[in-house]
Amino acid sequence: MFFDFQFAKQIKDYYDVVIVGGGPAALGAAVYARRAGLSVLVVEKVLEGGQLNFTTTIDNYLGFPNIEGKELASKMKEHAEYLGTEFLNETVEEVILNGDLKAIRTDSERIVSGKVLMIATGAEPKKLSVEGEKELAGKGVSYCATCDGYFFKDKKVAVVGGGDTAISDALYLARIAESVTVIHRRDKLRAVKSLQEKAFATPKIKFMWDTVVEKFEGDQYLRAVVVKNVKTGETSKLEVDGVFIAIGLTPNSGLVKDIVQLDEQGYIITNEWMETSVKGIYAIGDVRKKNVRQIITAVADGAIAAIHAAENYF
Protein backbone atom coordinates (compact mmCIF):
# COMPACT_ATOMS: atom_id res chain seq x y z
CA MET A 1 0.00 0.00 0.00
CA PHE A 2 1.32 3.42 -0.93
CA PHE A 3 0.68 6.68 0.89
CA ASP A 4 1.06 10.15 -0.56
CA PHE A 5 2.30 12.37 2.26
CA GLN A 6 2.16 16.13 1.65
CA PHE A 7 4.34 18.10 4.00
CA ALA A 8 3.62 21.75 4.68
CA LYS A 9 6.23 24.14 3.42
CA GLN A 10 8.67 25.08 6.15
CA ILE A 11 7.94 28.55 7.47
CA LYS A 12 11.11 30.60 7.70
CA ASP A 13 12.14 33.00 10.46
CA TYR A 14 12.38 35.96 8.08
CA TYR A 15 10.45 37.31 5.10
CA ASP A 16 10.86 40.63 3.33
CA VAL A 17 7.15 41.31 3.81
CA VAL A 18 4.94 39.85 6.54
CA ILE A 19 1.21 40.44 6.06
CA VAL A 20 -1.21 39.94 8.94
CA GLY A 21 -4.65 39.09 7.56
CA GLY A 22 -5.70 37.27 4.43
CA GLY A 23 -8.44 39.29 2.72
CA PRO A 24 -8.37 41.04 -0.68
CA ALA A 25 -6.01 43.77 0.58
CA ALA A 26 -3.52 41.21 1.88
CA LEU A 27 -3.67 39.09 -1.26
CA GLY A 28 -3.35 42.15 -3.49
CA ALA A 29 -0.26 43.23 -1.56
CA ALA A 30 1.17 39.72 -1.78
CA VAL A 31 0.82 39.62 -5.56
CA TYR A 32 2.55 42.97 -6.08
CA ALA A 33 5.28 42.26 -3.52
CA ARG A 34 6.07 38.90 -5.14
CA ARG A 35 6.18 40.49 -8.58
CA ALA A 36 8.78 42.87 -7.14
CA GLY A 37 10.87 39.85 -6.12
CA LEU A 38 10.19 40.06 -2.39
CA SER A 39 9.60 37.08 -0.11
CA VAL A 40 6.09 37.22 1.38
CA LEU A 41 4.30 35.49 4.24
CA VAL A 42 0.55 35.93 4.71
CA VAL A 43 -0.66 35.05 8.21
CA GLU A 44 -4.41 34.43 8.37
CA LYS A 45 -6.05 32.90 11.43
CA VAL A 46 -9.12 31.47 9.71
CA LEU A 47 -9.56 31.44 5.95
CA GLU A 48 -7.86 33.40 3.19
CA GLY A 49 -10.24 35.75 1.43
CA GLY A 50 -11.58 37.47 4.54
CA GLN A 51 -15.18 38.64 4.34
CA LEU A 52 -15.43 37.40 0.75
CA ASN A 53 -16.02 33.95 2.19
CA PHE A 54 -19.22 35.20 3.82
CA THR A 55 -20.47 37.18 0.83
CA THR A 56 -22.99 35.92 -1.70
CA THR A 57 -23.00 37.11 -5.30
CA ILE A 58 -20.60 39.95 -6.11
CA ASP A 59 -21.38 42.04 -9.19
CA ASN A 60 -19.12 45.06 -8.74
CA TYR A 61 -15.62 43.57 -8.98
CA LEU A 62 -14.22 44.40 -12.40
CA GLY A 63 -13.92 41.43 -14.73
CA PHE A 64 -15.91 39.04 -12.53
CA PRO A 65 -19.63 39.87 -12.83
CA ASN A 66 -21.95 37.82 -10.62
CA ILE A 67 -19.21 35.77 -8.97
CA GLU A 68 -19.69 34.08 -5.62
CA GLY A 69 -17.58 35.50 -2.79
CA LYS A 70 -15.92 32.17 -1.99
CA GLU A 71 -14.98 31.67 -5.63
CA LEU A 72 -13.39 35.11 -5.89
CA ALA A 73 -11.51 34.50 -2.63
CA SER A 74 -10.21 31.20 -3.99
CA LYS A 75 -9.06 32.81 -7.24
CA MET A 76 -7.24 35.57 -5.36
CA LYS A 77 -5.43 33.10 -3.13
CA GLU A 78 -4.50 30.91 -6.10
CA HIS A 79 -3.02 33.94 -7.86
CA ALA A 80 -0.90 34.89 -4.85
CA GLU A 81 0.14 31.26 -4.32
CA TYR A 82 1.06 30.86 -7.99
CA LEU A 83 3.53 33.72 -7.62
CA GLY A 84 5.17 32.11 -4.59
CA THR A 85 3.39 33.67 -1.62
CA GLU A 86 3.62 31.53 1.51
CA PHE A 87 0.70 31.14 3.92
CA LEU A 88 0.44 30.42 7.63
CA ASN A 89 -2.88 29.72 9.37
CA GLU A 90 -2.18 30.90 12.90
CA THR A 91 -3.36 33.79 15.07
CA VAL A 92 -0.97 36.69 15.56
CA GLU A 93 -0.83 37.52 19.26
CA GLU A 94 1.77 40.29 19.28
CA VAL A 95 3.71 42.70 17.09
CA ILE A 96 7.28 43.31 18.23
CA LEU A 97 9.43 46.22 17.07
CA ASN A 98 13.07 45.21 16.76
CA GLY A 99 15.06 48.04 15.21
CA ASP A 100 14.62 47.98 11.45
CA LEU A 101 12.79 44.66 11.68
CA LYS A 102 9.19 44.03 12.65
CA ALA A 103 8.34 40.69 14.25
CA ILE A 104 5.12 38.85 14.96
CA ARG A 105 4.43 36.22 17.61
CA THR A 106 1.68 33.73 16.87
CA ASP A 107 -0.46 31.58 19.15
CA SER A 108 1.97 28.70 18.61
CA GLU A 109 4.78 30.93 19.96
CA ARG A 110 6.27 31.13 16.48
CA ILE A 111 8.32 34.28 15.86
CA VAL A 112 8.62 35.59 12.30
CA SER A 113 10.42 38.80 11.35
CA GLY A 114 10.19 41.05 8.33
CA LYS A 115 11.60 44.31 7.09
CA VAL A 116 8.05 45.40 6.25
CA LEU A 117 4.89 44.56 8.17
CA MET A 118 1.45 45.06 6.64
CA ILE A 119 -1.65 45.09 8.82
CA ALA A 120 -4.62 43.78 6.84
CA THR A 121 -6.77 42.56 9.71
CA GLY A 122 -10.01 44.03 8.38
CA ALA A 123 -13.05 44.76 10.48
CA GLU A 124 -15.80 42.75 12.14
CA PRO A 125 -19.56 43.31 12.39
CA LYS A 126 -20.73 45.84 14.97
CA LYS A 127 -22.98 44.69 17.78
CA LEU A 128 -26.22 46.42 18.75
CA SER A 129 -25.34 46.04 22.46
CA VAL A 130 -28.94 45.54 23.54
CA GLU A 131 -30.55 43.18 26.03
CA GLY A 132 -30.57 39.55 24.92
CA GLU A 133 -28.14 40.01 22.02
CA LYS A 134 -25.18 38.29 23.64
CA GLU A 135 -27.27 35.52 25.19
CA LEU A 136 -29.05 34.68 21.92
CA ALA A 137 -26.06 35.01 19.59
CA GLY A 138 -25.95 31.78 17.61
CA LYS A 139 -29.46 30.98 18.83
CA GLY A 140 -31.35 33.11 16.37
CA VAL A 141 -29.20 36.23 16.42
CA SER A 142 -26.59 36.22 13.65
CA TYR A 143 -24.13 38.55 11.96
CA CYS A 144 -23.69 36.50 8.78
CA ALA A 145 -26.61 35.75 6.49
CA THR A 146 -24.59 33.57 4.14
CA CYS A 147 -23.30 31.51 7.06
CA ASP A 148 -26.56 30.97 8.90
CA GLY A 149 -29.35 31.77 6.45
CA TYR A 150 -29.95 28.14 5.50
CA PHE A 151 -31.06 27.34 9.06
CA PHE A 152 -34.04 29.65 8.58
CA LYS A 153 -35.55 28.04 5.51
CA ASP A 154 -39.26 28.89 5.30
CA LYS A 155 -39.09 30.85 8.56
CA LYS A 156 -39.63 34.49 9.46
CA VAL A 157 -36.48 36.59 9.77
CA ALA A 158 -35.46 40.22 10.16
CA VAL A 159 -32.42 42.18 9.03
CA VAL A 160 -31.19 45.18 11.03
CA GLY A 161 -29.54 47.91 8.96
CA GLY A 162 -29.99 49.94 5.80
CA GLY A 163 -26.67 49.82 3.98
CA ASP A 164 -25.33 47.62 1.19
CA THR A 165 -24.63 44.65 3.45
CA ALA A 166 -28.05 44.74 5.09
CA ILE A 167 -29.95 44.92 1.81
CA SER A 168 -27.74 42.27 0.19
CA ASP A 169 -28.49 40.05 3.18
CA ALA A 170 -32.21 40.73 2.85
CA LEU A 171 -32.18 39.77 -0.83
CA TYR A 172 -30.23 36.61 -0.07
CA LEU A 173 -32.55 35.62 2.78
CA ALA A 174 -35.63 36.27 0.65
CA ARG A 175 -34.61 33.26 -1.44
CA ILE A 176 -34.67 31.07 1.68
CA ALA A 177 -36.99 32.45 4.33
CA GLU A 178 -40.76 32.79 4.40
CA SER A 179 -40.49 36.54 4.96
CA VAL A 180 -37.84 39.19 5.61
CA THR A 181 -38.41 42.38 7.59
CA VAL A 182 -35.76 45.08 7.27
CA ILE A 183 -35.51 47.17 10.45
CA HIS A 184 -33.92 50.54 9.74
CA ARG A 185 -33.51 53.52 12.05
CA ARG A 186 -33.96 56.06 9.25
CA ASP A 187 -36.74 56.72 6.74
CA LYS A 188 -34.66 55.78 3.72
CA LEU A 189 -31.95 53.27 2.87
CA ARG A 190 -28.25 53.99 2.47
CA ALA A 191 -27.65 51.07 0.11
CA VAL A 192 -26.76 51.67 -3.54
CA LYS A 193 -29.72 52.30 -5.81
CA SER A 194 -29.47 48.97 -7.64
CA LEU A 195 -29.83 47.03 -4.39
CA GLN A 196 -32.69 49.23 -3.23
CA GLU A 197 -34.59 48.66 -6.46
CA LYS A 198 -34.20 44.90 -6.16
CA ALA A 199 -35.32 44.92 -2.52
CA PHE A 200 -38.37 47.10 -3.16
CA ALA A 201 -39.34 44.77 -6.02
CA THR A 202 -39.09 41.63 -3.86
CA PRO A 203 -42.52 40.75 -2.38
CA LYS A 204 -41.05 38.82 0.54
CA ILE A 205 -39.16 41.88 1.84
CA LYS A 206 -40.98 44.37 4.08
CA PHE A 207 -39.60 47.47 5.81
CA MET A 208 -39.92 48.98 9.28
CA TRP A 209 -38.76 52.59 8.95
CA ASP A 210 -37.52 54.88 11.74
CA THR A 211 -37.19 51.85 13.97
CA VAL A 212 -34.51 50.56 16.34
CA VAL A 213 -34.13 47.31 18.26
CA GLU A 214 -34.72 47.60 22.00
CA LYS A 215 -34.13 43.98 23.01
CA PHE A 216 -34.25 40.36 21.92
CA GLU A 217 -36.58 37.90 23.61
CA GLY A 218 -36.30 34.15 23.92
CA ASP A 219 -35.20 31.38 26.24
CA GLN A 220 -33.18 28.77 24.41
CA TYR A 221 -33.84 30.39 21.04
CA LEU A 222 -34.91 33.79 19.74
CA ARG A 223 -38.67 34.24 19.68
CA ALA A 224 -39.23 37.96 19.17
CA VAL A 225 -37.63 41.38 18.77
CA VAL A 226 -38.88 44.38 20.72
CA VAL A 227 -38.55 47.48 18.54
CA LYS A 228 -39.20 51.20 19.02
CA ASN A 229 -40.25 53.85 16.55
CA VAL A 230 -37.75 56.69 17.04
CA LYS A 231 -40.27 59.35 15.98
CA THR A 232 -43.27 58.30 18.05
CA GLY A 233 -41.53 56.43 20.85
CA GLU A 234 -44.02 53.60 20.43
CA THR A 235 -42.72 50.09 21.10
CA SER A 236 -43.94 46.88 19.50
CA LYS A 237 -42.98 43.25 19.25
CA LEU A 238 -41.97 41.49 16.04
CA GLU A 239 -42.14 37.70 16.22
CA VAL A 240 -39.33 36.18 14.17
CA ASP A 241 -37.18 33.06 14.19
CA GLY A 242 -33.96 34.82 13.26
CA VAL A 243 -32.38 38.27 13.15
CA PHE A 244 -29.37 39.22 11.06
CA ILE A 245 -27.50 42.32 12.23
CA ALA A 246 -25.72 44.36 9.55
CA ILE A 247 -25.05 47.83 10.97
CA GLY A 248 -21.44 48.38 10.03
CA LEU A 249 -17.98 47.35 11.10
CA THR A 250 -15.52 47.68 13.96
CA PRO A 251 -11.84 47.71 12.91
CA ASN A 252 -9.63 44.86 14.09
CA SER A 253 -6.78 47.17 15.07
CA GLY A 254 -6.21 45.96 18.63
CA LEU A 255 -2.99 44.21 17.65
CA VAL A 256 -1.28 47.55 16.99
CA LYS A 257 -3.38 49.97 19.06
CA ASP A 258 -0.38 50.89 21.23
CA ILE A 259 2.05 51.01 18.31
CA VAL A 260 0.52 53.06 15.47
CA GLN A 261 -1.79 56.06 15.40
CA LEU A 262 -5.54 55.34 15.32
CA ASP A 263 -8.53 57.61 14.82
CA GLU A 264 -11.34 57.97 17.36
CA GLN A 265 -13.14 54.91 15.96
CA GLY A 266 -10.08 52.70 16.08
CA TYR A 267 -9.19 52.77 12.39
CA ILE A 268 -5.48 52.97 11.57
CA ILE A 269 -4.42 56.33 10.14
CA THR A 270 -2.27 56.15 7.00
CA ASN A 271 -0.97 58.42 4.28
CA GLU A 272 -1.68 57.93 0.57
CA TRP A 273 1.00 55.21 0.41
CA MET A 274 -0.68 53.24 3.23
CA GLU A 275 2.16 54.07 5.63
CA THR A 276 1.24 54.27 9.31
CA SER A 277 2.89 56.47 11.92
CA VAL A 278 5.63 53.83 12.31
CA LYS A 279 8.23 53.42 9.59
CA GLY A 280 7.99 50.03 7.93
CA ILE A 281 4.42 49.31 9.06
CA TYR A 282 1.61 49.68 6.53
CA ALA A 283 -2.16 49.35 7.01
CA ILE A 284 -4.33 48.21 4.12
CA GLY A 285 -7.98 47.40 3.54
CA ASP A 286 -10.91 47.87 5.91
CA VAL A 287 -8.74 48.32 9.01
CA ARG A 288 -7.42 51.69 7.85
CA LYS A 289 -9.17 55.06 7.96
CA LYS A 290 -10.76 55.69 4.56
CA ASN A 291 -14.03 56.77 3.00
CA VAL A 292 -14.73 53.84 0.69
CA ARG A 293 -14.52 50.18 1.73
CA GLN A 294 -14.97 47.94 -1.28
CA ILE A 295 -13.17 44.85 -2.58
CA ILE A 296 -11.58 46.82 -5.38
CA THR A 297 -10.30 49.56 -3.06
CA ALA A 298 -8.90 46.96 -0.65
CA VAL A 299 -6.92 45.33 -3.46
CA ALA A 300 -5.72 48.77 -4.55
CA ASP A 301 -4.54 49.51 -0.99
CA GLY A 302 -2.47 46.35 -1.07
CA ALA A 303 -0.97 47.12 -4.46
CA ILE A 304 -0.02 50.68 -3.45
CA ALA A 305 1.58 49.54 -0.19
CA ALA A 306 3.57 46.78 -1.89
CA ILE A 307 4.86 49.06 -4.64
CA HIS A 308 5.87 51.72 -2.12
CA ALA A 309 7.57 49.17 0.14
CA ALA A 310 9.50 47.61 -2.73
CA GLU A 311 10.77 51.00 -3.87
CA ASN A 312 11.68 52.33 -0.43
CA TYR A 313 12.88 49.40 1.69
CA PHE A 314 14.66 47.05 -0.71
pLDDT digits (tens, 9 = 90+) for 50-69: 888 877 778 889 999 989 99
pLDDT digits (tens, 9 = 90+) for 59-99: 889 999 989 999 999 999 999 999 999 999 999 999 999 88
Distance (Å, whole) CA 144 – CA 220: 20
Question: Quick one: pLDDT at residue 54?
Answer: 78
Quick count: other Cβ atoms within 10 Å of Cβ 76?
A: 25
Instruction: Name the superfamily (CATH) of residues 127-245.
Output: FAD/NAD(P)-binding domain (3.50.50.60)
Question: Quick one: pLDDT at residue 221?
Answer: 96
Question: Quick one: pLDDT at residue 56?
Answer: 73
Where in 61-192 does DSSP place strands (E)? Answer: 67-68, 86-88, 92-98, 101-106, 111-119, 123-125, 141-142, 156-160, 179-183
pLDDT digits (tens, 9 = 90+) for 156-210: 999 999 999 999 999 999 999 999 999 999 999 999 999 999 999 999 999 999 9
What percent of the chain has pLDDT above 70? 97
Residues annotated as catalytic are 144, 147-148
Mean pLDDT of all residues belonging to the chain: 94
- CATH topology of 15-124+249-313 equal to that of 127-245? yes
Residues 68 and 168 sit within 8 Å (Cβ to Cβ): no
Instruction: Name the superfamily (CATH) of residues 15-124+249-313.
Output: FAD/NAD(P)-binding domain (3.50.50.60)
Inform me whether the pLDDT recorded for 117 exceeds 80: yes
pLDDT digits (tens, 9 = 90+) for 1-33: 343 333 446 999 999 999 999 999 999 999 999
Query: What residue spans define the domains of the chain?
Result: 15-124+249-313, 127-245
Inform me whether the pLDDT recorded for 274 exceeds 60: yes
Give every CB contact of residue 15 below 8 A, 6+ residues apart in sequence: 39, 40, 41, 86, 112, 113, 114
Question: Quick one: pLDDT at residue 6?
Answer: 38
The HSE-up count of residue 258 (CA atoms within 13 Å, CB side) is 4
